[in-house]
Amino acid sequence: MQGTQPFCSIIVPCGRPGRVTITLDTVHNQSYPRELYEIMLVTPAPEQLGNIGENGVCIVNSGKLLPPGAMRNLGAARAKGDIFLFLDDDCLVPVSWLDDMVRIMTRPESQKVGAVGCRVVAFHDSFWNCCADHALFSAYQGRQTGQVAGLGSAALAVRRQAFITVGGFDEKLLASEDWDFSLKLQEQGWQCWFSAATEVRHDHRRGGFIPILKASWRYGLTSGLLVQRRHISSVSWLARVMVRMGHPGFYWFMILPYVAFATLLWCWEARRFSRQLMCIPIVLLARSAYQLGVWQALCRSSIL
């Protein structure tokens, strides 16, 4: 990167053309100099985007809806920036988002920072949306700025060099590809940082008891233990225990103790935030649904 303001590429994988316009409005309205960033929209349906491509947006046709990692890699392959900023098509960024992410990456002491994430919270403030944030998107709910073990990819800045070093996102993963990417970065000597001062709004539309449990179960089913097994030496001791209990017969009996202990740890970290603690029952049930999904995935793989 040259100078203090590098050229950046904002990459938006888009599977929902009807919802991306408002996202792009916030991307266009950044305090960062407009001539120093490009906007790339990766979509299987460019014909549904109207005149978006005439407003300084580069349209990348994916041909079909690909897994999230593959959509991001496709955009990165065409990007010119020194820093890639991945943004989901249902997120609204504040005017300082690009400035905030670049500022952390360009500090003299940040040469080994490979990726920077930030807070991503529900668009509408309600009890159920708060529960969804903490049950489904806990990686985005940090309260402190600093180095972390994993980042979500809904609003993620990545140094080009770091992205190339690890080969981008795993294109076969349907879920947890961002966790896998974070672990790959750290195994190659890069750091992952979280910016608690930057907050992106997320129109996830999962605020409700049933939607939260269904989404949790589905994430567990599609994730299984693939990432934990792949990075066994890098995950937490608790995750390693669950991997070693990876046979469906053993795993079933570990679900309740694991969920209870993990939720207790979460409660300890959240003890100063009363509104967050109101979500404890939902978080506990959502974690249980996730682990049931993992168990079901293990059962399927053992049959195959």
Tell me: the pLDDT tens digits for 54-87? 788 999 999 999 999 999 999 999 999 999 999 9
The predicted pLDDT at position 304 comes to 52
pLDDT, tens digit (0-9, with 9 covering 90-100), for 267-294 = 998 888 878 889 999 999 999 999 999 9
Give the span between the Cα atoms of 204 and 136, in whole angstroms.
10
Strands 37-43 and 57-61: parallel
139 touches 151 (CB < 8 A): yes
pLDDT surpassing 50 at residue 1 = no
Q: What is the mean pLDDT of the segment spanning 34-47? A: 95
For residue 3, name the pLDDT band (cuts at 50, 70, 90): low
Domains of the chain and CATH, by start = 8-202 (3.90.550.10), 209-303 (no CATH)
- For the residues 247-269, what does the mean pLDDT come to? 93
- Within a 13 Å sphere around the CA of 288, how many CA atoms are in the beta-carbon half? 10
Rounded CA gap, 117 and 179, in Å? 12
Weakest mean pLDDT among 121-125, 239-243, 249-253, 299-303: 299-303
Identity at 234, one-letter amino acid code: S
**Average pLDDT over the chain, rounded to an integer:** 93
pLDDT score, position 60: 96
What tens digit of pLDDT does each residue of 154-192 get?
999 999 999 999 999 999 999 999 999 999 999 999 999
pLDDT score, position 205: 86
Q: Span 125-153, mean pLDDT?
A: 93
Question: What's the one-letter identity of residue 8?
Answer: C
Instruction: Tell me, rounded to whole angstroms, the distance of Cα 149 from its chain centroid.
Output: 13
- The rounded radius of gyration (Å) of the Cα atoms in the chain is 19
Name the phi and psi angles at 197, rounded to 5: -80, -15
pLDDT of residue 2: 45
Structure-token pair, residue 260 = 């209870």
Residue 47 has pLDDT above 90, yes or no: no
| CA 22 to centroid of chain Cα atoms | 20
pLDDT band, very low/low/confident/very high, at 303 (cuts 50, 70, 90): low
Strands (E), 134-190: 146-148, 155-159
